[in-house]
Amino acid sequence: MKERIDLTVVGPEVPLTLGIADEFERAGLRIFGPSRLASEIEGSKAFSKGLMARYNIPTARYREFSDPLEARAYVKEIAPPLVVKADGLAAGKGVVICAAEDEALEAIENIMVKKAFGPSGARVVIEEFLEGEEASFLAVTDGKTVVPLAPAQDHKAIYDGDMGPNTGGMGTYSPAPLMTPELEREVMERVMKPMVEAMEAEGRPYRGVLYAGLMIGGVGVKVLEFNCRFGDPETQPIMMRLEDDLFDLLMRAAEGRLAGVRLKWSDKHAVCVVMAAGGYPGDYARGSVISGLDEAGGMEDVMVFHAGTAFKDGHVVTSGGRVLGVTALGNGIKEAIERAYRAVELISWEGAYYRKDIGYKALRRLVR
Protein backbone atom coordinates (compact mmCIF):
# COMPACT_ATOMS: atom_id res chain seq x y z
CA MET A 1 0.00 0.00 0.00
CA LYS A 2 2.87 2.33 0.80
CA GLU A 3 4.19 2.28 -2.77
CA ARG A 4 0.72 2.82 -4.30
CA ILE A 5 1.24 0.15 -6.95
CA ASP A 6 -1.29 0.52 -9.78
CA LEU A 7 -0.73 -2.82 -11.46
CA THR A 8 1.10 -6.00 -10.51
CA VAL A 9 2.32 -8.30 -13.31
CA VAL A 10 3.02 -11.89 -12.31
CA GLY A 11 5.95 -13.64 -13.99
CA PRO A 12 6.21 -17.26 -12.85
CA GLU A 13 3.61 -20.04 -12.84
CA VAL A 14 3.89 -21.18 -9.23
CA PRO A 15 2.27 -18.12 -7.55
CA LEU A 16 -0.40 -18.05 -10.27
CA THR A 17 -1.38 -21.68 -9.71
CA LEU A 18 -1.44 -20.99 -5.96
CA GLY A 19 -3.96 -18.19 -6.51
CA ILE A 20 -2.06 -14.92 -6.18
CA ALA A 21 -4.44 -13.21 -8.64
CA ASP A 22 -7.47 -14.26 -6.56
CA GLU A 23 -5.87 -12.91 -3.39
CA PHE A 24 -5.05 -9.56 -5.00
CA GLU A 25 -8.55 -9.22 -6.37
CA ARG A 26 -10.05 -9.97 -2.98
CA ALA A 27 -7.88 -7.19 -1.57
CA GLY A 28 -9.02 -4.78 -4.30
CA LEU A 29 -5.60 -4.62 -6.01
CA ARG A 30 -5.16 -4.67 -9.78
CA ILE A 31 -3.21 -7.63 -11.08
CA PHE A 32 -2.32 -9.01 -14.50
CA GLY A 33 -2.43 -12.81 -14.51
CA PRO A 34 -5.00 -15.63 -14.48
CA SER A 35 -6.86 -16.86 -11.41
CA ARG A 36 -6.01 -20.12 -9.65
CA LEU A 37 -8.67 -22.02 -11.56
CA ALA A 38 -7.64 -20.51 -14.89
CA SER A 39 -3.93 -21.21 -14.27
CA GLU A 40 -4.71 -24.91 -14.30
CA ILE A 41 -4.12 -24.85 -18.05
CA GLU A 42 -0.44 -24.99 -17.04
CA GLY A 43 -0.79 -26.46 -13.55
CA SER A 44 -2.39 -29.67 -14.74
CA LYS A 45 -1.61 -31.26 -18.08
CA ALA A 46 -4.53 -33.66 -17.63
CA PHE A 47 -6.86 -30.67 -17.22
CA SER A 48 -5.56 -28.86 -20.30
CA LYS A 49 -5.58 -32.02 -22.44
CA GLY A 50 -9.14 -32.77 -21.34
CA LEU A 51 -10.23 -29.26 -22.21
CA MET A 52 -8.59 -29.45 -25.63
CA ALA A 53 -10.29 -32.77 -26.29
CA ARG A 54 -13.72 -31.45 -25.25
CA TYR A 55 -13.43 -28.26 -27.30
CA ASN A 56 -11.74 -29.73 -30.38
CA ILE A 57 -8.48 -27.84 -30.02
CA PRO A 58 -5.85 -29.76 -31.99
CA THR A 59 -3.34 -31.65 -29.85
CA ALA A 60 -1.55 -35.01 -29.68
CA ARG A 61 -3.71 -38.08 -28.91
CA TYR A 62 -3.33 -39.05 -25.27
CA ARG A 63 -4.57 -40.87 -22.21
CA GLU A 64 -4.17 -39.99 -18.55
CA PHE A 65 -3.40 -42.40 -15.71
CA SER A 66 -3.27 -42.28 -11.94
CA ASP A 67 -2.39 -45.97 -11.63
CA PRO A 68 1.15 -46.93 -12.68
CA LEU A 69 0.00 -50.46 -13.57
CA GLU A 70 -2.48 -49.12 -16.09
CA ALA A 71 0.10 -46.66 -17.44
CA ARG A 72 2.56 -49.52 -17.98
CA ALA A 73 -0.07 -51.66 -19.69
CA TYR A 74 -0.89 -48.78 -22.05
CA VAL A 75 2.76 -48.30 -22.98
CA LYS A 76 2.98 -51.99 -23.91
CA GLU A 77 -0.14 -51.68 -26.01
CA ILE A 78 0.90 -48.71 -28.18
CA ALA A 79 4.07 -48.31 -30.17
CA PRO A 80 6.85 -45.86 -29.28
CA PRO A 81 7.98 -43.15 -29.79
CA LEU A 82 5.74 -41.65 -27.16
CA VAL A 83 5.85 -38.93 -24.53
CA VAL A 84 5.31 -39.36 -20.79
CA LYS A 85 4.38 -36.20 -18.87
CA ALA A 86 3.96 -35.58 -15.17
CA ASP A 87 0.55 -33.99 -14.69
CA GLY A 88 1.62 -31.14 -12.42
CA LEU A 89 4.34 -28.49 -12.42
CA ALA A 90 7.90 -29.78 -12.67
CA ALA A 91 9.89 -26.68 -13.69
CA GLY A 92 9.95 -27.88 -17.30
CA LYS A 93 11.54 -31.22 -16.39
CA GLY A 94 8.47 -33.43 -16.16
CA VAL A 95 8.31 -34.33 -19.86
CA VAL A 96 10.14 -37.43 -21.11
CA ILE A 97 10.39 -38.25 -24.81
CA CYS A 98 10.65 -42.03 -25.07
CA ALA A 99 12.07 -43.67 -28.17
CA ALA A 100 11.58 -47.17 -26.77
CA GLU A 101 9.24 -49.01 -24.43
CA ASP A 102 11.78 -49.44 -21.61
CA GLU A 103 12.38 -45.66 -21.49
CA ALA A 104 8.67 -45.10 -21.07
CA LEU A 105 8.47 -47.70 -18.30
CA GLU A 106 11.40 -46.02 -16.56
CA ALA A 107 9.74 -42.60 -16.88
CA ILE A 108 6.54 -43.96 -15.32
CA GLU A 109 8.61 -45.47 -12.49
CA ASN A 110 10.44 -42.19 -11.83
CA ILE A 111 7.41 -39.96 -12.00
CA MET A 112 4.67 -42.09 -10.44
CA VAL A 113 6.47 -44.50 -8.11
CA LYS A 114 9.70 -42.76 -7.07
CA LYS A 115 7.86 -39.42 -7.14
CA ALA A 116 10.74 -37.50 -8.73
CA PHE A 117 8.47 -34.43 -8.90
CA GLY A 118 6.50 -35.09 -5.72
CA PRO A 119 2.71 -34.79 -5.94
CA SER A 120 3.02 -33.46 -9.54
CA GLY A 121 3.53 -37.10 -10.55
CA ALA A 122 0.35 -38.50 -8.99
CA ARG A 123 -1.04 -38.58 -12.52
CA VAL A 124 0.67 -38.84 -15.90
CA VAL A 125 -0.37 -38.00 -19.42
CA ILE A 126 0.95 -40.37 -22.09
CA GLU A 127 0.69 -39.06 -25.61
CA GLU A 128 1.78 -39.69 -29.17
CA PHE A 129 5.09 -38.20 -30.31
CA LEU A 130 4.62 -35.37 -32.79
CA GLU A 131 7.11 -34.51 -35.48
CA GLY A 132 7.72 -31.01 -36.74
CA GLU A 133 9.14 -27.68 -35.72
CA GLU A 134 8.16 -25.90 -32.51
CA ALA A 135 6.94 -22.33 -32.21
CA SER A 136 5.65 -20.27 -29.31
CA PHE A 137 2.50 -18.25 -29.70
CA LEU A 138 1.61 -15.77 -26.99
CA ALA A 139 -1.50 -13.65 -26.71
CA VAL A 140 -2.80 -11.18 -24.16
CA THR A 141 -6.45 -11.59 -23.23
CA ASP A 142 -8.97 -9.96 -20.92
CA GLY A 143 -11.14 -13.08 -21.05
CA LYS A 144 -13.02 -12.00 -24.17
CA THR A 145 -10.74 -10.25 -26.66
CA VAL A 146 -7.54 -12.07 -27.67
CA VAL A 147 -4.65 -9.88 -28.83
CA PRO A 148 -1.82 -11.86 -30.42
CA LEU A 149 1.80 -11.03 -29.67
CA ALA A 150 4.49 -11.48 -32.33
CA PRO A 151 5.38 -15.18 -32.69
CA ALA A 152 8.76 -16.43 -31.54
CA GLN A 153 10.80 -19.59 -31.69
CA ASP A 154 12.79 -21.03 -28.83
CA HIS A 155 15.83 -23.33 -28.81
CA LYS A 156 15.16 -25.72 -25.94
CA ALA A 157 18.11 -28.08 -26.09
CA ILE A 158 21.29 -27.19 -24.23
CA TYR A 159 23.80 -27.84 -27.05
CA ASP A 160 24.25 -26.52 -30.58
CA GLY A 161 22.29 -28.35 -33.25
CA ASP A 162 19.45 -28.96 -30.76
CA MET A 163 21.41 -31.71 -29.06
CA GLY A 164 21.37 -32.70 -25.40
CA PRO A 165 18.71 -32.39 -22.71
CA ASN A 166 15.94 -29.80 -22.82
CA THR A 167 16.24 -26.60 -20.80
CA GLY A 168 13.83 -23.77 -20.09
CA GLY A 169 15.10 -22.25 -23.36
CA MET A 170 18.57 -21.24 -24.59
CA GLY A 171 17.66 -18.58 -27.11
CA THR A 172 14.89 -17.19 -29.24
CA TYR A 173 14.08 -15.13 -32.27
CA SER A 174 11.13 -13.11 -33.49
CA PRO A 175 9.57 -12.96 -36.00
CA ALA A 176 9.50 -16.71 -36.68
CA PRO A 177 9.63 -17.24 -40.45
CA LEU A 178 7.88 -20.59 -39.88
CA MET A 179 4.82 -18.69 -38.66
CA THR A 180 3.36 -17.31 -41.88
CA PRO A 181 0.40 -14.89 -41.70
CA GLU A 182 -1.92 -17.75 -42.79
CA LEU A 183 -0.61 -20.01 -40.06
CA GLU A 184 -0.98 -17.18 -37.55
CA ARG A 185 -4.63 -16.82 -38.50
CA GLU A 186 -5.12 -20.56 -38.15
CA VAL A 187 -3.58 -20.55 -34.69
CA MET A 188 -5.80 -17.65 -33.63
CA GLU A 189 -9.00 -19.26 -34.98
CA ARG A 190 -8.34 -22.88 -34.02
CA VAL A 191 -6.34 -22.54 -30.81
CA MET A 192 -6.21 -19.17 -29.07
CA LYS A 193 -9.79 -17.89 -29.41
CA PRO A 194 -11.42 -21.31 -28.84
CA MET A 195 -9.29 -21.77 -25.73
CA VAL A 196 -10.34 -18.44 -24.22
CA GLU A 197 -14.00 -19.22 -25.08
CA ALA A 198 -13.64 -22.69 -23.57
CA MET A 199 -12.31 -21.26 -20.32
CA GLU A 200 -15.24 -18.84 -20.15
CA ALA A 201 -17.66 -21.71 -20.79
CA GLU A 202 -16.02 -23.75 -18.04
CA GLY A 203 -16.53 -20.96 -15.52
CA ARG A 204 -12.81 -20.20 -15.39
CA PRO A 205 -12.54 -16.91 -17.31
CA TYR A 206 -8.96 -16.49 -18.46
CA ARG A 207 -7.23 -13.15 -18.10
CA GLY A 208 -3.53 -12.67 -18.68
CA VAL A 209 -1.02 -14.11 -21.13
CA LEU A 210 -2.09 -17.27 -22.88
CA TYR A 211 1.00 -19.08 -24.14
CA ALA A 212 0.65 -21.96 -26.59
CA GLY A 213 3.62 -24.19 -27.29
CA LEU A 214 2.92 -25.47 -30.80
CA MET A 215 4.22 -28.21 -33.04
CA ILE A 216 3.99 -27.25 -36.69
CA GLY A 217 4.20 -30.40 -38.75
CA GLY A 218 2.94 -32.17 -41.84
CA VAL A 219 -0.50 -32.67 -40.29
CA GLY A 220 -0.86 -29.01 -39.38
CA VAL A 221 -0.73 -27.20 -36.05
CA LYS A 222 -0.99 -29.08 -32.76
CA VAL A 223 -0.73 -27.78 -29.20
CA LEU A 224 2.05 -29.30 -27.09
CA GLU A 225 1.16 -27.36 -23.98
CA PHE A 226 -0.33 -24.19 -22.62
CA ASN A 227 1.42 -21.90 -20.17
CA CYS A 228 -0.37 -19.31 -18.07
CA ARG A 229 2.36 -16.63 -18.28
CA PHE A 230 4.96 -14.93 -20.47
CA GLY A 231 7.56 -17.34 -21.86
CA ASP A 232 11.22 -17.06 -21.02
CA PRO A 233 13.16 -16.41 -23.28
CA GLU A 234 10.39 -15.78 -25.85
CA THR A 235 9.34 -12.53 -24.21
CA GLN A 236 12.70 -10.78 -24.58
CA PRO A 237 12.68 -10.54 -28.42
CA ILE A 238 8.92 -9.90 -28.41
CA MET A 239 9.36 -6.91 -26.08
CA MET A 240 12.17 -5.52 -28.22
CA ARG A 241 9.81 -5.44 -31.22
CA LEU A 242 6.73 -4.06 -29.46
CA GLU A 243 6.16 -0.43 -30.44
CA ASP A 244 3.11 0.17 -28.27
CA ASP A 245 2.96 0.92 -24.57
CA LEU A 246 3.20 -2.33 -22.61
CA PHE A 247 1.66 -0.81 -19.49
CA ASP A 248 -1.41 0.34 -21.38
CA LEU A 249 -1.83 -3.15 -22.90
CA LEU A 250 -1.57 -5.00 -19.59
CA MET A 251 -3.77 -2.47 -17.77
CA ARG A 252 -6.47 -2.82 -20.40
CA ALA A 253 -6.29 -6.60 -20.08
CA ALA A 254 -6.54 -6.44 -16.29
CA GLU A 255 -9.57 -4.13 -16.53
CA GLY A 256 -11.34 -5.98 -19.35
CA ARG A 257 -10.82 -3.20 -21.90
CA LEU A 258 -8.96 -4.94 -24.73
CA ALA A 259 -11.70 -4.71 -27.36
CA GLY A 260 -10.35 -3.00 -30.50
CA VAL A 261 -6.69 -3.13 -29.47
CA ARG A 262 -4.18 -3.95 -32.22
CA LEU A 263 -0.49 -3.88 -31.54
CA LYS A 264 2.24 -2.29 -33.65
CA TRP A 265 5.41 -4.30 -34.20
CA SER A 266 8.80 -3.22 -35.48
CA ASP A 267 9.77 -4.74 -38.83
CA LYS A 268 13.15 -5.43 -37.33
CA HIS A 269 14.15 -8.91 -36.22
CA ALA A 270 15.14 -9.66 -32.64
CA VAL A 271 17.39 -12.41 -31.33
CA CYS A 272 17.95 -13.38 -27.70
CA VAL A 273 20.97 -15.47 -26.70
CA VAL A 274 20.74 -16.95 -23.21
CA MET A 275 23.97 -16.96 -21.23
CA ALA A 276 23.86 -19.76 -18.67
CA ALA A 277 26.00 -21.04 -15.83
CA GLY A 278 28.26 -23.92 -16.90
CA GLY A 279 26.62 -27.23 -15.95
CA TYR A 280 23.03 -26.01 -16.41
CA PRO A 281 20.47 -27.72 -16.71
CA GLY A 282 22.32 -29.94 -14.22
CA ASP A 283 24.24 -28.62 -11.21
CA TYR A 284 26.02 -25.30 -11.58
CA ALA A 285 27.96 -22.77 -9.52
CA ARG A 286 26.53 -19.49 -8.22
CA GLY A 287 28.22 -16.27 -7.18
CA SER A 288 30.61 -15.67 -10.12
CA VAL A 289 31.26 -11.99 -10.80
CA ILE A 290 29.93 -10.91 -14.22
CA SER A 291 31.92 -8.39 -16.24
CA GLY A 292 31.12 -6.44 -19.40
CA LEU A 293 27.46 -5.72 -18.63
CA ASP A 294 27.76 -1.96 -19.16
CA GLU A 295 29.66 -2.31 -22.44
CA ALA A 296 27.14 -4.80 -23.84
CA GLY A 297 24.09 -2.94 -22.52
CA GLY A 298 25.44 0.31 -23.97
CA MET A 299 25.43 -1.02 -27.54
CA GLU A 300 22.73 0.41 -29.76
CA ASP A 301 19.68 -1.85 -30.20
CA VAL A 302 20.91 -4.21 -27.49
CA MET A 303 19.20 -5.01 -24.19
CA VAL A 304 20.65 -7.30 -21.56
CA PHE A 305 17.77 -8.88 -19.59
CA HIS A 306 18.74 -10.20 -16.17
CA ALA A 307 17.35 -13.53 -15.00
CA GLY A 308 19.64 -15.40 -12.59
CA THR A 309 21.67 -12.50 -11.20
CA ALA A 310 22.15 -10.92 -7.80
CA PHE A 311 23.98 -7.91 -6.40
CA LYS A 312 26.76 -8.74 -3.97
CA ASP A 313 29.52 -6.53 -2.52
CA GLY A 314 29.04 -3.98 -5.28
CA HIS A 315 29.20 -6.57 -8.08
CA VAL A 316 26.61 -8.26 -10.24
CA VAL A 317 27.05 -12.01 -9.70
CA THR A 318 25.40 -15.13 -11.10
CA SER A 319 22.61 -16.62 -8.99
CA GLY A 320 20.77 -19.04 -11.28
CA GLY A 321 21.06 -21.46 -14.20
CA ARG A 322 19.97 -19.16 -16.96
CA VAL A 323 21.71 -15.93 -16.05
CA LEU A 324 21.19 -13.35 -18.83
CA GLY A 325 19.10 -12.93 -21.98
CA VAL A 326 21.25 -10.87 -24.32
CA THR A 327 18.87 -9.49 -26.92
CA ALA A 328 19.51 -7.46 -30.08
CA LEU A 329 17.48 -5.93 -32.89
CA GLY A 330 18.67 -5.93 -36.49
CA ASN A 331 17.52 -5.25 -40.02
CA GLY A 332 16.94 -8.91 -40.80
CA ILE A 333 17.70 -11.96 -38.74
CA LYS A 334 21.36 -12.12 -39.79
CA GLU A 335 22.14 -8.66 -38.47
CA ALA A 336 20.24 -9.39 -35.26
CA ILE A 337 22.21 -12.61 -34.72
CA GLU A 338 25.53 -10.87 -35.33
CA ARG A 339 24.71 -7.99 -33.01
CA ALA A 340 23.47 -10.29 -30.23
CA TYR A 341 26.68 -12.32 -30.36
CA ARG A 342 28.85 -9.18 -30.43
CA ALA A 343 27.15 -8.19 -27.17
CA VAL A 344 27.51 -11.70 -25.73
CA GLU A 345 31.23 -11.65 -26.44
CA LEU A 346 31.64 -8.52 -24.31
CA ILE A 347 30.20 -10.29 -21.28
CA SER A 348 32.06 -12.90 -19.26
CA TRP A 349 32.26 -14.80 -16.01
CA GLU A 350 33.95 -18.00 -15.00
CA GLY A 351 32.13 -20.93 -16.56
CA ALA A 352 29.72 -18.91 -18.72
CA TYR A 353 28.04 -21.03 -21.40
CA TYR A 354 25.86 -20.17 -24.40
CA ARG A 355 24.78 -21.78 -27.64
CA LYS A 356 26.58 -20.52 -30.74
CA ASP A 357 23.78 -21.26 -33.21
CA ILE A 358 20.78 -19.25 -31.98
CA GLY A 359 18.71 -18.04 -34.95
CA TYR A 360 20.43 -20.12 -37.59
CA LYS A 361 17.34 -22.28 -38.05
CA ALA A 362 15.43 -19.15 -39.07
CA LEU A 363 18.24 -18.04 -41.35
CA ARG A 364 18.24 -21.43 -43.12
CA ARG A 365 14.50 -21.24 -43.64
CA LEU A 366 14.83 -17.79 -45.22
CA VAL A 367 17.61 -18.64 -47.67
CA ARG A 368 16.20 -21.99 -48.67
Backbone dihedral angles phi then psi of residue 193, each to the nearest 5 degrees: -65, -45
The answer to whether 136 touches 231, Cβ cutoff 8 Å, is yes
Choice between 23 and 162, CB closer to ligand AMP: 162
Which x/- pattern over 222-251 shows residues binding ligand GLY (rule: CB under 6 A)?
A: -----x---xx-x-----------------
Site string for ligand AMP, 143-162 (x = CB under 6 A): -------------x------
**Distance between CA atoms of residues 180 and 183, nearest Å:** 5
129 scored as a contact of ligand AMP (CB under 6 A): yes
Instruction: Give me the least distance between CB of 341 and ligand AMP, in Å please.
Output: 24
Give, to the nearest 10 degrees, the angle between helix 333-346 and helix 360-367: 160
Taking residues 136 to 165 in sequence order and writing x for each that binds ligand GLY by CB under 6 A, - otherwise, the string is ------------------x-----------
Count of Cβ atoms closer than 10 Å to residue 367 Cβ: 6
Question: 166-225: which residues touch ligand AMP (CB under 6 A)?
Answer: 166, 213, 224-225
105: left (phi over 0), alpha (psi -120 to 50) or beta: alpha
- Nearest partner of 144 among 207, 50, 90, judged by Cα: 207
DSSP state of 301: T
Residues in contact with ligand GLY, shown as a per-residue x/- string from 167 to 206 under the rule CB under 6 A: -xx-------------------------------------
Distances from the Cα of 364 to the Cα of 333, 357, 359, 368, angstroms: 10, 11, 9, 6
**134 sits near ligand GLY (criterion: CB under 6 A):** no
169 binds, among ligand GLY, ligand AMP, none (CB under 5 to 8 A by kind): ligand GLY
Residue closer to ligand GLY, measured from CB, 196 or 272: 272
The interface region with ligand AMP, picked from 125-133, 258-266, 305-313, 338-346 by CB under 6 A, is 125-133
Contact 270, 237 (CB under 8 A): yes
Residues lying near ligand GLY in the complex (CB under 6 A) are found at 154, 168-169, 227, 231-232, 234
